[in-house]
Amino acid sequence: MAPACSLLALALAPACADDSVGGTRDDEIGAEAPTEEESAGEDGESGSESGDNDGSTGSSEGEERGSETGTPCDPSDPNALPWQAREFLAKGESRADVQLGACDYHVWWVSAATGVETTITVSGVDEGAGVDLAVAYPDAPNYVEALATASVLDTGELAFEAPRSGEFAVLVRAQNPGADPQLSLSYDIEVACTNQCQFVTTRFPMVFVHGWTGFENIGPLTYFYNVREDLEALGYPVAIAVLDPYNSVDVRGEQLVEFVTATLGAARARKVNLIGHSQGGIDSRYVAADAGGGMGAQVSSVITIGTPHYGTPVPDIALGLLPGASEVVLAWLFNFLGATMDQQSDVLASLDTLSEAHMIDEFNPTYLDHPEVQYWSWAGETCVAGIGCQDTLDPLLLIPYELILPLAGDNDGLVPTESAKWGEYLGLMPADHIDQIGQIAGVTGLNYDHIQFFRDNAEMLVDGAH
């Protein structure tokens, strides 16, 4: 059932489209994600020699069959060799004098945007020896399903054009390893961009997660207004999650788990970056937490924007947990969110999730941050008539803004500034809660450019090899 038109929706478009919530694009949800058996090396993603937190090694059984034992390996079966994750190599980076045993199977990680040509150069291979190179999807790195292959005797290169944006695996193994189980050689490796280098990408897809009244489209507009189109034009891989417009984190979190799983399969990716606005940030934390979605090993980073990590007084007042005009607040919320009578119970469930009592006493102690995930946060600030800060409050948010101010101080119209801080705090946005995502229709305060804001966050992910 399509939601009724909210105050925000009415401001965005003449009428709410019937397909504003629900439905997914074909390029977001594709083939099922590979099984654990198909995702080689997944269990060991605790680090590599370089400290890359995405590295992994082959199974202990495979390591026992490695070159150090002198046990023959079977070169006719590429999957019989235990693969050993090395490092992520950005464009222009190289490594020298890498040691390779007869039965070693090195996997390096690189990234490339769709249509970009990347060239892998291997040199310095010991005289009389050779190596086989391959480029494959990272979720199941093997020679059988390789995107490109080459053999190198002394110096050689392998160029490939990326079929999609994101991470790829570069495989290196000795030629004919079964002929000499004691073989040991060294090689140098370098990665370079050789065509269409103006495009950029993160290693892992960016999944954007909406908050209240979430939608992918209302008429011609999108929740993260024109953000997807801008980032994809630059080369980045983007997926937009579509969850219930309002519900508890248990419900929305599990919906996000399903979406992330499908996105990993469609993108042939090992991990995702979650970018959540408002409650979307709480849902993202749920997905990564062991006590929630249990997908910490498949999440590289979580960026939260205007997210009430310690709750917000608005739900507490609406639910009667704090003194205040609860009926007035509830009426405003139902009207703002556009909740029909049969959806009001979902709104109440969402309010309970975002209350200060629930977030502080229940959610935060239960859904702990995953140690392998990088957490960043942004907070917003706004003021009536722009007096005292760099943003002018949208009149739609006047009621909750004035309720929060005496109870929790500076806020973005729905979330206290202090409540939005989690993990590594990146700073204050001069933007109210709806400006943060470019609403309404791309019109924000003079001191905030939402398109540039999301570009900067994408560049941060690139710089951090996420």
Q: pLDDT tens-digit profile of 363-397?
A: 999 999 999 999 999 999 999 988 899 999 998 88
201-463 fold: Rossmann fold (3.40.50)
Given a contact cutoff of 8 angstroms between Cβ atoms, the answer to whether 376 and 301 are in contact is yes
Given a contact cutoff of 8 angstroms between Cβ atoms, the answer to whether 107 and 41 are in contact is yes
Domain residues of the chain, as ranges?
42-195, 201-463
- Select which of 48, 278, 355, 419 is catalytic: 278
| Residue 1 exposed, middle or buried by CB count within 10 Å (0-12, 13-18, 19+) | exposed
For residue 402, what are the CA distances in angstroms to 100, 229, 316, 408? Answer: 65, 35, 15, 10
Across residues 49-60, what is the average pLDDT?
A: 41
Instruction: Kindly report the pTM of this predicted structure.
Output: 0.83
pLDDT at 427 over 90: yes
What's the distance, Cα to Cα, between the start and end of the chain in Å? Answer: 37
Concerning whether 248 is annotated as a catalytic residue, the answer is no
- Select which of 316, 412, 432, 435 is catalytic: 412
Higher pLDDT, 404 or 12: 404
One CATH from 1.50.10.20, 2.60.120.380, 3.40.640.10, 3.40.30.10 for 42-195: 2.60.120.380
Closest CA to 450 of 459, 441, 462, 463: 441
Closest CA to 107 of 165, 65, 57, 72: 57
Residue 427 structure tokens: 């700073």
- Select which of 106, 309, 370, 433 is catalytic: 433
Higher pLDDT, 292 or 219: 292
Q: pLDDT tens-digit profile of 109-155?
A: 999 999 999 999 999 888 778 899 999 999 999 888 999 999 998 89
Given a contact cutoff of 8 angstroms between Cβ atoms, the answer to whether 434 and 441 are in contact is no
Across residues 149-175, what is the average pLDDT?
A: 95
What confidence category does residue 159 fall into, taking pLDDT thresholds of 50, 70 and 90? very high
Concerning whether 433 is annotated as a catalytic residue, the answer is yes
Concerning whether 412 is annotated as a catalytic residue, the answer is yes
